[in-house]
Structures are given as structure tokens and as C-alpha cells.
Amino acid sequence: MHSRPCYALPPVRGTYTDQAPLKDLVWFRAGGPAETLFRPADVDDLATFMAARPEDMPVTVIGVGSNLLVRDGGIPGVVIRLPGNFGRISAEGPRVRAGAAALDAAVARAAADAGIGGLEFLRGVPGTIGGALRMNAGCYGREIKDVFVEAAAIDAKGNKIVLKADDMGFVYRKSAAPEDLIFVEAVFEGVRERPDDIRARMNALVEQRESTQPVRSKTGGSTFKNPPGHKAWQLIDDAGCRGLMRGAAQVSEKHCNFLINTANASAADIEGLGEDVRAKVKEKSGVTLEWEIKRVGVP
């Protein structure tokens, strides 16, 4: 990549950082830099940037990188990371309004404190609301589409738009919302319940997750989607991949659908290990695993 961007960056109130390291911003702790990292000051600043940017400028949005692999060559163009003021959470009646940078777990806790049940599954989803909207995140039998009311986003031209459920087109682990939308806020609806009852369910969910998943490791969460009629981890285990390594990347011994950076693995090692797993599963079962982790950037 160029040492400095070759694009004319529009004036903003937020910050630009050239050749910004990303590995410390993603859970895998691997990968290359952003050509330019943009942190907008607020929604208006983001809209101004999108409206004024050159049309051919590549734009990539990242959250906390919980389900993201940045390749070793980094990400060309501009990487947008929404700062903390995009993470405000408020409750009204049975509804929760959350900024796109809000952690899923923080939204679950805020809902519980407000006596809003039905959102506790978010406590088990790593990452932010923006990413959860994009991939219809879920666990333990519930997903975003079950609680979704509406979302606000900035489009490629800098317009602020509101999306209802039909606009989102939620299916298993993805949304049909246009790729160039940048989510800035969402509203979810649960049911009124006693906070203590909600917290009890949430704590049980956390205990289950921590006992079955390598949550303390440098990982990207669930690596592959569950194919229809199958569980990805079972297929991976049956193919003999538990503990399989490439460089410092390893298939988790605790949960086979997690890849782990055991030391200083390159993104190429992690992605290559994932492809090794896909090949072995295909050979053993005839099933082609589909990546759930989003892989971005250049090798």
C-alpha cells in the first residue's frame, strides 16, 4: 500500500490516521494496517465524509473486530471505526435504543437493568451492534431478527435512512441490507420482566458459553456457519481437525469451530488453517463449510 493515501480526503471534524495498525483493534491480534483510519466525530461528520469522498475510494467499516480477520497486507482506502460516542444505550418501555458502537453484551446488561427480557442472548454475542445487524448475530436459539424494530444508517451518498425489518432481509447469519450502508443506531424490543429473572437467565448463558468456548483466547468467534442439518464443530471434529495447527494458528481443542492465535500467528496462517479445515471436512463428509468470520484486506 502507499505510504500516504493517494485519495483526496474530505475535511472532517473527526480524525484521520495514516497507516494505522489494526491488529490491536481485532480479537485475533493479527493482520496489517489501514491505509487510513477515520474516526468520525458524530453521525453528521460521518454523513459529511460519505457525501464528499471520491466515489472510487474503498471504504471498510470495522467494529471491535470480534468476528473479523484482517489480512496481512492491510486494508486499502479508508477504514471507518465508530468511536465510543456512537455507543450510547437508552431504554424506554419494552424497547432499547443502542448506538452501532455499543457492545452487544452492554446492550444485554442495560436491557436487564431496565427490566426488558428477551435480549439476554446478546450477552453471549461478541462484538458491537453494528456488526450484529450486518450478520443477524445470535446464539442459544435467538438472533437479532427476533428483537429488531428498526435501524438507522448512513448510505454511500451520506443520506441518513431508516430501515424496518423488511428492509433488512434477515436470514441465518446475514442481512440483505446494502453492503455500503453504515449502521449508526438500532431499536430492539423485548418484554417487561423482573430484572433479577433476566439476570439469572443471562448468567446461566454466560456460564454455558465460558464452559464450552475458548473465550479467553485470541480468536474470531465461530469460524464457520452451521450447514443445514449439521453442526460445524461436529463436522470439523469428525474430520480429525481438533487441535490442528498451521504456524501459530490452531483449531481450538475446546470448541472445534474456533480458530485461535496461540502466539504471533499471521493472518495468512489463520486463514490458511481455516481452508485446511474446509478441505478436510469436504473430503470426509462432502459438506462445504461456509466462512462466518469476515475476511478483509489484501494478503
Which grid cell is 135?
A: 450478520
Catalytic residue among 95, 142, 173, 295: 173
CA-based nearest residue to 83, from 64, 66, 97, 68: 64
Contact call for residues 101 and 129 (beta carbons, < 8 A): yes
Dihedral pair phi/psi, residue 144, rounded to 5°: -50, -40
Containing 207, the helix (H) or strand (E) segment is: helix 195-212
Q: How far is CA 229 from the centre of its chain?
A: 24
Contact call for residues 67 and 295 (beta carbons, < 8 A): no
Q: How far apart are CA 151 and CA 46, in angstroms?
A: 16
Contact call for residues 198 and 100 (beta carbons, < 8 A): no
- Catalytic residue check, 97: no
Catalytic residue among 66, 222, 252, 266: 222
Which grid cell is 235?
A: 463436522
Dihedral pair phi/psi, residue 285, rounded to 5°: -115, -15
- Catalytic residue check, 266: no
- Catalytic residue check, 222: yes
CA-based nearest residue to 4, from 23, 14, 18, 17: 18
Q: How far apart are CA 132 and CA 277, in angstroms?
A: 25
Catalytic residue among 35, 120, 271, 292: 292
Q: Which residues are catalytic?
A: 173, 222, 292
